[in-house]
């Protein structure tokens, strides 16, 4: 699950770094469908009791950062990067992608 989460985050950030918000959203939705299908498969094709999956902090970060890139919200972008600093530092390319996203969307150097 952790490998899927890291890969999903990397792909989302890569889409955003290329200023491709639409595909970042589509990709996140595909990941959600995959996680829901996996949860049902683990329960013999039936929905498990409770939520189909629990969003992780990286998943939440991707959702928030993608939504932020859809509007002029540089202060919120900076706050999200600060708030999720520990999770962002879990992979060496995440800070690089976020620097690129900040520069492209908000002119942050």
Reduce the secondary structure of 54-84 to three states and give it as a string: CCCHHHHHHHHHHHHCCCCCHHHHHHHHHHC
* pLDDT tens track, the chain, 109 positions: 688 889 999 999 999 999 999 999 999 999 888 888 887 888 888 877 776 566 778 989 999 999 999 999 999 999 999 999 999 998 999 999 999 999 999 999 8
Residue ranges of domains in the chain = 2-106
pLDDT at 42: 84
pLDDT at 45: 83
pLDDT at 40: 83
pLDDT at 52: 59
pLDDT at 10: 96
HSE-up of 97 (CA within 13 Å, CB side)?
21
């Amino acid at each position: 699950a952790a490998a899927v989460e890291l890969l999903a985050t990397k792909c989302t950030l890569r889409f955003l770094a290329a200023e491709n918000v639409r595909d970042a959203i589509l990709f996140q939705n595909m990941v959600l469908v995959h996680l829901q299908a996996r949860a049902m498969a683990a329960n013999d094709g039936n929905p498990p009791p409770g939520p189909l999956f629990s969003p992780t902090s990286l998943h939440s970060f991707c959702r928030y950062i993608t939504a932020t890139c859809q509007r002029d919200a540089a202060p919120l972008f900076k706050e999200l990067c600060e708030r999720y600093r520990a999770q962002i530092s879990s992979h060496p390319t995440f800070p690089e992608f976020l620097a690129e996203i900040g520069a492209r969307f908000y002119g942050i150097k």
